[in-house]
Chain A
Amino acid sequence: MTTLNRQATPQDPDHLKGLHDDLQEVWGNPRGIRALTIVNHTTVGLRFMVTGMVFFLIGGILAMLIRTQIAMPDQNFMNPDIYNQVTTMHGTVMMFLFAIPMLEGLAIYMIPKMIGGRDLVCPRLSALGYFCYLFGGTILTFSIVLEMAPNSGWFMYTPLSSSEYSPGLGSDFWLLGITFVEISAVSAGVELVVSILRTRTQGMALHKMPIFAWYILAMALMIVVGFPPLILGSILLELERAVGMPFFDVAGGGDPLLWQHLFWLFGHPEVYIIFLPAAGVVSTLIPVFAGRPLVGYGWVVFAITVMGFISFGLWVHHMFTVGIPQLAQAFFSAASMLVAIPTAIQVFVWLATLWVGKPRFELPMLWIVGFLVIFVCGGLTGVMLALVPFNWQVHDTHFVVAHMHYVLVGGMLFPLMAGLYYWLPLFSGRMPSETIGKWGFWLVFIGFNVTFLIMHWTGLLGMPRRIYTYDTGMGWDIFNLISSIGGFVMSAGFAVVVIDLLLHFRYGKPAKENPWRADTLEWANSLPPSPYNFVSLPKIETRHPLWDDPDLPRTIREGKHRLAVASHGRRELWGSDPLTGKLREVIHLPGNSWWPFCAALALAVVCVSLLIRWYPLAGIAVIVAGVFLLRWSWENGAHPRAAPDARVQEGDPPLHSRTLDGPGLWTMTTTMIANGAFFLSFLFGWFYLWTVSPEWSMPDTSPLSLFAMLAVGLLFAVGCTAMETCVHRLRQRNDLGLRLRLLVAALLGAVASMVLLWLILSADLAITETAHDAVLMVGLVYALFHVSLAALLSLLQALRVGYGYVSAEAPFEPVVVAYFWRYSVLMLWVLVGALAILPRVIGG
């Protein structure tokens, strides 16, 4: 450990160069095979985006195959099975492998730069998320090459996707591949939430955040809450297909509508998960090109919040035709109409900003205007579809397909393109080509409208979606032909965009500093940015830092602000108060690591071995992945590879690992929100089947021993108390007996695990015969996982006390582990009530 006082001064250019060298040494990216160890948000974000673009091209080719097949009646370009595979994979690739990862990639890349950070708060999690996405997406896409792709539609309705009607591996590819990819989405969601709330630079209070950060915060929270229902649904459906547990099989007491509920509990918010970051791009770009602040910042925050919530109350409008009571349909119809209000507020804010500003119609603005036109049209047909009678008429027709594309392409792709062109100078240090860019835009804009405006009419004429051909007498011929021509024009437009991007990195004109005269902090980076973003971290108390202080990029570069030191070898950024932006700690981040790649690789083996039903290998791979992840968690806090030396510069707050409220606690809290959403979805499934499923049968006597369940609950609660005692004493800086208490907690957790395991084995559940027993099994295994993991984490903490990594001076980790115990105790007792007590009280 060397000195901690090398801080740059403008009078000392050698010192400044030394500081840059230090930062480069600490933050730099390795090359060659070791590039797989990179965890830096700039690289990981770019990887997400480039991979997303590749999947976009694959999805686009699939779209053109669809348009070729139905361009004319009675065509045999594809047989029905291949057509079904192509349509399913087009939707799946675009929604799961392009839209969400692409926007997450943009957020991962952009957020730290906008809020004055040097990286996201969990960089190894970013890297794990990327590799899970890459491997999961590759496995899923590979099914096309094998001609074994899923063919039940991108929402995989049961019973069509169940083993009876989809006996091949197609549905399994979807369920396992998507679940794998969703690990990536939830990982990104968790760390974006924590990064935005806890790592903003000094002084950046919540109401001074860049508006893009508000959008990403809402998106990330929605991912955290919205994805778990689908993860649960996918696990249940895969269990039904692989093991025969009848969750969605009526004869066994299940209900196929449960799948629809779980899917759309995720699926409808997903539309807004995609839309919100894209709208964030619009709200960021319009003020820049209008040359004035956004009109109604507060109103936009209001609209974002409303959208984030209301979008979770609309899922049944995808299920209006399944036989739900009219009054319930009316609830969802009304809620669907309500979402027009926050959308309209944003549209009016954007128009007002343009109205009162002096807009410059440069290339990114062209895509923004295209977005406004298309998205407003898509929004209006959305309100039409919210009306139950109209919805019934056009259900499952091309009208719905056209509406969806107007909303998703207009609402996401156009702003994304605007954002890509806008931030190109940041990615490459070069300016985009206005001429080629405009050609690309107009071809896409015209092609899109020709394709999908016409598709509304084919839908109104009654053409159902996903039919692989049609008779010439239906009156749909000319419309389909025009739609297909439009589709190819749009493809030509994207080809021009791709060529433009490829040429750009070679021939683009070098960009000058802050080329669009923007107001946000990302433009204070060098072009392209260094791995550490900022040499020094400025105090920001305005929403428009670069407009209010145009000299900021220079002063940051010259290290005139704080935390301009790296000679200690740590990757550092500020940990700030989530509301006020006041400094609370110095967060030290882990460096490049093999663990994320290794863990993702092991999880890929799990995925593939489950796919080919080679369960022993899957079991081994799960254990290997677990070992990798625990080893990863070992290199934290006071570990020699993390921050063994707690010294900081004079006047700086302490290192986060030496406090009791670091970002790890926030990460655990956010993860438990996702976990809680998963658990609530499970409870929803349990009560839904109990109440609604026509063949549900509750046994006269519960197969679960109430005594054993209560014993597990009590043992675990006492273990949790031991953990709480550890935390309480650490708060008083007292670590006497810490190791013993942790061992007691671990022991109690282990005993509770064993009792629970005995309970599962002795219950003699008929999991393949009744949905009741199958649901019980899932609930008990979920509980067993938590109880065992809590015990294991406490045991590791006790070991770390022995190594000196956890103590009164480094008290952080037991606080995080105790939070996991708290969640698990709560979950366990709710489970005892729902599965063991309530059936005894109410009965069948």
Chain B
Amino acid sequence: MKRLLARLHLTHPGHFVSGLTIWGTWFVAVYGGLSVACAVVPPDPGLGALTSINASLLIVSAITAACLVALSLGCFAAAREHVGRQHFNALVSAWLYAFSAVAVVFVALPIIGVPPCL
């Protein structure tokens, strides 16, 4: 894990945008996936939120949030190890990953209770 985090160069400002890019990709995937699924295989409305679409979206969301949390923790650790420019980059990236994780969880919350295609 440490080797992987080292290879990610978590003090590089590219991480300013990677967390939110992951969020954006996830957002497009769940919105697009939902739209396509509703157009191609709409579930029985009587099932409510207990559908395979909701389950799939939740799994994707949980995996995405977990990745973002891991990256956030990695950046916090990197920030502690550096000073100056690299500390700044890692710390801002850490909070951006953390925000992205929160954003995934917050936006995904309705998947638990709202039927997908109504």
A interface with B by C-beta (< 8 Å): 205-207, 298, 301-302, 305-306, 308-310, 312-313, 316, 325-328, 330-332, 334-335, 337-338, 341, 579-580, 691-692
Contact = CB atoms under 8 A, between A and B. Distances in A.
A298 B88 contact: yes
Given A309-B20, A325-B34, A335-B27, 17 more contacts: A205-B85, A207-B88, A302-B92, A302-B99, A305-B17, A305-B92, A309-B21, A309-B24, A325-B35, A327-B110, A327-B115, A334-B106, A334-B109, A335-B107, A338-B103, A579-B12, A691-B40
B70 interface: no
5 A-B pairs with the lowest CB-CB distances in the bound complex, closest first: A330-B110, A309-B20, A207-B88, A334-B107, A327-B114
A301 B35 CA distance: 34
A330 B113 CA distance: 11
18 contacts: A206-B13, A206-B89, A207-B85, A207-B89, A298-B88, A298-B91, A302-B92, A305-B17, A305-B96, A306-B96, A308-B20, A309-B21, A325-B35, A327-B114, A335-B27, A335-B103, A338-B106, A691-B40
B114 A691 contact: no
B114 A330 contact: yes
B118 A338 contact: no
Nearest to A297: B88
B35 A206 contact: no
B46 to A, nearest CB: 16
A206 B99 contact: no
A604 to B, nearest CB: 37
B77 interface: no
A129 B5 CA distance: 43
B16 interface: yes
A325 B30 CA distance: 13
Nearest to A332: B31
Given A207-B89, A302-B96, A312 B24 contact: yes
A313 B117 contact: no
A305 B20 contact: yes
A332 B88 CA distance: 31
Given A207-B85, A305-B17, A306-B99, A692 B109 contact: no
Contact of A325 (B13, B23, B116): B116
Contacts of A298: 88, 91-92
Interface of B: 12-13, 16-17, 20-21, 23-24, 27, 30-31, 34-36, 38-40, 85, 88-89, 91-92, 95-96, 99, 103, 106-107, 109-111, 114-118
Contact of B118 (A206, A312, A326, A579): A326
Contacts of B39: 691-692
B92 A301 contact: yes
Nearest to B99: A306
Given A306-B20, A306-B99, A331-B107, A579 B31 contact: no
A555 B109 CA distance: 58
A325 B37 CA distance: 12
A316 B32 CA distance: 12
A328 B27 CA distance: 10
Contacts of B110: 327, 330-331, 334
B115 A579 contact: no
A196 to B, nearest CB: 13
Contacts of B24: 309, 312-313
B38 A325 contact: yes
Interface centre among A205, A301, A309, A338 (most CB of B within 10 A): A309
B90 to A, nearest CB: 11
A328 B96 contact: no
Given A335-B27, A580-B85, A328 B34 contact: yes
A560 B39 CA distance: 68
Contacts of B95: 302
A338 to B, nearest CB: 5
Nearest to B95: A302
Nearest to A341: B99
A594 B40 CA distance: 56
Nearest to A688: B35
A331 B91 CA distance: 28
A205 B31 CA distance: 38
Nearest to B57: A327
Contacts of A335: 27, 103, 107
Contacts of B35: 325, 328, 691-692
Contacts of A332: 31
A337 B106 CA distance: 10
Contacts of B27: 313, 331, 335
A205 B20 CA distance: 23
Contacts of B103: 310, 335, 338
A306 B16 CA distance: 9
A308 B21 CA distance: 11
A580 B84 CA distance: 11
A262 to B, nearest CB: 15
B54 to A, nearest CB: 8
Contacts of B99: 302, 306, 341
A327 B116 contact: yes
A117 to B, nearest CB: 20
Nearest to A334: B107
Contacts of B118: 325-327
Contact of B31 (A310, A328, A691): A328
B117 A325 contact: yes
A330 B110 CA distance: 6
A9 to B, nearest CB: 34
Nearest to B98: A302
Nearest to B39: A691
A823 to B, nearest CB: 19
Contacts of A338: 103, 106-107
A676 to B, nearest CB: 14
B81 to A, nearest CB: 17
Contacts of A334: 106-107, 109-110
